[in-house]
Amino acid sequence: MRYIDNDLTDKTILITGGAGFIGSNLAFYFQENHPDAKVVVLDSFRSGETLSNGNLKSFGHFKNLIGFRGEVISGDINDKALLAKLEVDYDFDYIFHEAAISDTTAMEQDLMVRTNLNAFKDLLDMALRQNANMIYASSGATYGDAPSPQTVGVEAPQNVYGFSKLMMDHLSRDVMKTAAISIVGLRYFNVYGPREYFKDKTSSMVIQFGHQLLQGKNPKLFENSDKIVRDFIYIEDIIQANVLAMHPKKSGIYNVGTGNARSFQSMVDILQKELGTSYPCEYIPNPFIGRYQFHTEANIESTVEGLGYAPKFSFEEGIKAYIPEIKRMFEEEVK
């Protein structure tokens, strides 16, 4: 689906983190809807390097870009020499900044702040020099345990990831005051959809439960999962928000969710219906009580006003649209 009518012929677009979940979906959106635009993907791609929690440092994967015909550059956004070369080699019109250490359980505070905040400042400075509109990934993690509906301006991050994203927002707000470009920070809530499989253990529970069911396993849920709710948002609505943010009514920080919280129990129920299974759920004690969000829901009033955003996928519609990809990844990567 095409979200803007602007002619992007001869426009140059940089997507950092472009081999990751959201970045790769953006790359294909422009390839399919604006084939005359030049799209440059930058990603560190995965290696064997892991964080102290055992998770991969980078989730970028070449398989997310199979079929992409633009330029692909392997590199780390912390590499100032690389950023300087990009600025010499390209004249960007838009920068979509999706690259980050996105593992909310990561303990490396130094790496998190350096990668998520300090490198963002370098990219923002480049955007200002090149007169390129900046659209970047903030996060619902900035809210921590703030009450629902989560509203921009009421934040209480509970981990260094949420802190780093909030500091990005503070920095961008300061720059917005005098910038000639538009700057938009998008606070993603619980995103699910195609090209997330290679996030491994940090992929959404939609695909994780889907693959459990396809393996014939009983889904394991925390106790009271009918009361544990999140604002789950399908990837197509995330792409919509990013594209609309290319030309916002005004720069700002915007929530990107559906504004409609749904339970984990409903997730499993919808998956079972779509997959034609009826395995009994197993309920286990929640070991994260006291440091676990039981209710997230995005206040999207300002997003509707500032971006013209209107979520198009209900939870039922998003999961139904995702089912063929869940099955494909199961056949190709899990079995």
Residues assigned a catalytic role: 161, 199
Calpha distance 110→283 (Å, rounded): 37
Give the closest residue to 255 by CA, choosing from 290, 294, 301. Answer: 301
Question: Counting every residue, how long is the chain?
Answer: 335
Task: Please answer whether residues 252 and 225 qualify as being in contact, where contact means their C-beta atoms are separated by less than 8 angstroms.
Answer: no
Rg over alpha carbons for the chain, rounded to the nearest Å, is 19
Ordered alpha helix ranges (H), 131-204? 160-176
Q: What are phi and psi of 23, to 5 degrees?
A: -60, -45
149: cis peptide before it, omega within 30°?
Answer: yes
User: How close are the terminal C-alpha atoms of the chain, in Å?
Assistant: 32
Distances (CA, A) of 197 to 131, 160, 203: 35, 24, 6
Write 100-103 long-range contacts (CB < 8 A, 24+).
100/17, 100/137, 100/164, 100/165, 101/51, 101/57, 101/161, 101/164, 102/20, 102/59, 102/161, 102/202, 103/51, 103/53, 103/55, 103/161, 103/202
Q: What is the DSSP letter of 181?
A: S
Give the closest residue to 98 by CA, choosing from 199, 23, 203. Answer: 23
Distances (CA, A) of 1 to 5, 72, 124, 218, 249: 11, 24, 29, 36, 21
